[in-house]
Amino acid sequence: MRLGVEVVNNRRIQELNRNFRQVNKPTDVLSFPAQAEDLPAVIQQQIETLYLGDLAIAYPYASDQAKLLGCSIDDNLALLAIHGTLHLLNYDHDTPSSRAEMWAAQDRALSALGIPLEIVPALEDFAEARFSWSRWLAEITSTMQIEPSQYAHKTSANRLDSLGYALAGWLYMLRHQRNTWIMAMTTPVIGAVALWLRVDRMSWALLIVAITLVWLTEFVNAAVEAAIDLGTSDYHPMAKVGKDVASAAVLLGVIASVLIGLLVLAPPLWQRLAGWFTL
């Protein structure tokens, strides 16, 4: 009976954790059982008997654990290897009963190797017990390590094509989003009023920022809704949260833009109207 063991750094274990468990943070050990489901039963049994699967152990993470637990790195690596191997043997700890069974097997293996059992409870609390610079650095740099070409349906290095995609998105908004029609009508009206009032350049800058803020939040809101609709067609509370929060961002942008517009345009407009009434 064989298994594979790969010793990796925190960045690699986080990548594996993200790709296979959808948990974007480093961990100590990951188990990957041998996959033989698509083969005939006899061959599947032979493969699973001869080869259990693979373990990935993060050495920097394990080293931090050993320092916190006051044990040797060898003892901690042995514990992680035992823990991961038990997962390959179909042990788990997702329920109280399965956890008790797995921990009993783990304790027997540790005792056979002369490793103190006291390190096991402390090991479970390690992630919350100590800040690790190496884990923190791996976490904040994990996103930049993702290669978008591996996941994106289509990417383009041509800037003209990228501009075309942006314009296509704008046209989509104009055709399908009612709020975009409202913004398309109010934007030139605001610009015409600003020209009539002859506001200064700083006022123009504030108006441009305010108008862009409304357009931007509306575009982001539509993108979030499209991504959620793509991910699920069923009602889900978290899908509602995503859509509601995106809508709240649009509302916040509108309120801020209205306030900016009033602060910029109201004083000169009042002066212009007051001049008419005094004639």
How many percent of the chain have pLDDT more than 70?
A: 81
Give tens-digit pLDDT for 140-193.
Answer: 776 777 666 666 666 666 788 888 888 999 999 999 988 899 999 999 999 999
Find, among 116, 128, 108, the residue nearest to 76 by Cα.
116
Q: How many CB atoms lie within 10 A of CB 165?
A: 11
**Res. 223: pLDDT tops 90:** yes
| pLDDT value of position 94 | 84
Which tokens sit at 45? Answer: 């049994």
Write the CB contacts of 162 (distance below 8 Å, at least 6 apart in sequence): 156
| pLDDT value of position 212 | 95
Which phi and psi angles does 118 have, rounded to 5°? -65, -20
| pLDDT value of position 274 | 81
Write the CB contacts of 252 (distance below 8 Å, at least 6 apart in sequence): 217
Q: How far apart are CA 261 and CA 279, in angstroms?
A: 27
**Res. 12: pLDDT tops 70:** yes
31-35, 41-45, 266-270: lowest mean pLDDT where?
41-45
Letter string b/e over residues 196-229, b meaning 16 or more CB atoms within 10 A of that residue's CB: eeebeeebeebbeebbebbbebbbebbebbeebe
Q: What is the mean pLDDT of residues 70-90?
A: 91
Query: Going from the N-terminus, what domains does the chain have, and what CATH number goes with each?
Result: 2-150 (3.40.390.30), 159-278 (1.10.287.3610)
Which tokens sit at 14? Answer: 């986080």
DSSP 12-38: HHHHHHHHHH---S--SEEEEE---TT
Q: What is the mean pLDDT of residues 204-226?
A: 95
